[in-house]
Amino acid sequence: MVRYDYRERYQSAAEVIADLKEISNNPNQTIDNREIYREEIVRRASYRGDISIVGRGILDELRESLELSQEETEIIEDEVLNPYRKYQEKGERYEQTLRAAIQQEYPLSHETREELECLQQILGLTQEDIELIEDRVIPKSILIKFKKILLNNSQKLSINRWLIVVIISIVIVVIFAIYGYIKFQNYNQMLQQQALEKEQKEAAQLNLLRNLYTERNYENCISKTTLISEKSNIFAEAQDILQKCKQGKNWQNYQVEDLSQYSAAVGTVVFSPDGKMLATGSRETTVKILEIPTGKVINTFRADDSPIWSVAFNTDATQLVAGTYDWRVIVWNLETGEPFHVFEHRAPIWSVAMSPDNEIIASSSGDRTVKVWDLKTGFLIFNFPDHSDIIYSIAISSDGKILVSGSADQTIKIEDLDTGELINTLTGHQGVIRSVKITPDGEKIVSGSYDNTVKIWDLKTGKLIKTLSGHTAEVVSVDISQDGRYIASGSKDNSINIWDLDTGELLNTLTGHTDEIYTVSFSPDGNSIASGSKDRTIKLWRR
């Protein structure tokens, strides 16, 4: 790496100007302009392959005069300067190796010196380059300097002075040795500290992942686990947790427990908005409020001594509405336990729903109508007579503007709650439609039918998106998780199927009931499902 004489570089500027004038004055110039530019780059380049600011200005002027394009000159510069830069990189690699060797031992052993000479030959570095590097890296041995002085002035120095120099040199060597040892020890301590910090960080990460899995926070668990590097010491354990979280997310590690035992079939279950209560209705003719997760009965409401097939909470869980087989819709104040509204149909009530703003109640009946009531005044707002058979299920959209109903006439009706107009009629099921739900984003309808299928529809267009087949008997109930990702369907085949709403994939089948399942309900956090069955039990399923 021979250093360039910068004085020569700037003294040659006059020569460049002369060349430029000669080129501009001689239109018959036959010299290759690119070669002229190449030679000038060689003159301007430092030993590191760098071009100074002034040198860059000279080259720019020369490029304009020679009428060379920017692309041509960049190619020429790369061809000329890359060898300089590569040579410089070789010197830097040698310097790094030398520094590492000194960290291990100093003074350098004979074997290490031979290895460094071998590396010098492989890299193609000159002895002059090596000396420049060693001047920067290796502390000069004071002892060697003093020896040179002694040899050059041996006739002039006395024995006492020689001894003093030797002693001083030995002391200096010892100081350097101690300094090197301390530096080496500090370096080792730093490495050990870094390793300890890394180990502690990884242990904390692993503990966090385990907690997320235990808490059934599967989405967060999966996202954080995928960030663990393959080089991490906890990668294998993290992958095991990742697999468990994926299985948990897809309901493949579910746990089930019996919440309550009834003396008759359970027809309806629904979680309160905060997930702390579960309202249930059955052929026992009572509405019971259970505490979650204990299953303890905290309140009981008696209706008309008739079966209860549908219940619903308002958004703050201060009111509860139930539909009875004795044709009535009853609204209770949960704080006082007293009913404050009773609405009537002309046949059994199969489904009730409350709007998100808590201002209206909708009910469907065997009288083939859907009625919409003002909750404050008790007045009837709309009476939808569009079905030709029993209306088993209704649902209100999250914005409170749309009502959807499913009927034994095998159709789904979409009604406008602002105008009372029928918007659309969906056909496609080959059996009684027993249950309908609207996705939280208000874009899709999910329906379950006695044709053993679950269907997904586009609410705006009315087009059928997917048909989900997996049950071996009639589908009686469907529900959608609050995040809009999953569908649960309960069937007379005694099972609950969990579906991916977007793909239609059957993720898992939950078994445990011994008879037909009449109702399913997702908890607000999506981690639990409550179900009621003809086997007279309510079960709580946890993923």
Residues 262 and 362 both lie in one domain: yes
Q: For position 255, what pLDDT does the model report?
A: 94
Residues 245 and 309 both lie in one domain: no
Residues 458 and 312 both lie in one domain: yes
DSSP state of 51: B
Residues 245 and 337 both lie in one domain: no
Examine the pLDDT at 5 and tell me if it is beyond 70. Answer: no
Residues 180 and 281 both lie in one domain: no
Q: For position 109, what pLDDT does the model report?
A: 86
Residues 320 and 438 both lie in one domain: yes
Q: C-alpha angle 319/537/492, rounded to 5°?
A: 100
Beta bridge partners of 261: 537
- Range(s) of the domain holding residue 422: 255-542
What is the dihedral sign for C-alpha 513, 526, 310, 318? positive
Q: Which of 185, 215, 249 is the last residue of a domain?
A: 249
Q: Which of 249, 265, 295 is the last residue of a domain?
A: 249
Examine the pLDDT at 144 and tell me if it is beyond 50. Answer: no
> Does residue 150 fall inside a structural domain?
no
Q: Which of 221, 249, 277 is the last residue of a domain?
A: 249
Q: How many residues comprise the chain?
A: 543
Residues 71 and 200 both lie in one domain: no
Q: For position 42, what pLDDT does the model report?
A: 82
Give the per-residue SS3 of 471-531: CCCCEEEEEECCCCCEEEEEECCCEEEEEECCCCCEEEEEECCCCCEEEEEECCCCCEEEE
Look-up: residue for tokens 């354990």?
A: 237
Mean pLDDT of the chain: 88
The one-letter code for the residue type at 75 is I
> Does residue 506 fall inside a structural domain?
yes
Q: How many domains does the chain have?
A: 3
Tokens at 204, concatenated: 């904390």
pLDDT for 394-450, tens place per residue?
999 999 999 999 999 999 999 999 999 999 999 999 999 999 999 999 999 999 999
> Does residue 143 fall inside a structural domain?
no
Would you call 173 exposed, middle or buried from its count of C-beta atoms within 10 A (0-12, 13-18, 19+)?
middle
Residues 291 and 175 both lie in one domain: no
Answer whether 541's CB lies under 8 Å from 267's CB.
Answer: no
Residues 371 and 460 both lie in one domain: yes
Task: Provide the whole-model pTM.
Answer: 0.65
Query: Residue 534 contacts by C-beta under 8 Å, 6 or more apart in sequence?
Result: 265, 266, 515, 516, 517, 518
pLDDT for 163-175, tens place per residue?
787 788 888 888 8
Q: For position 16, what pLDDT does the model report?
A: 53
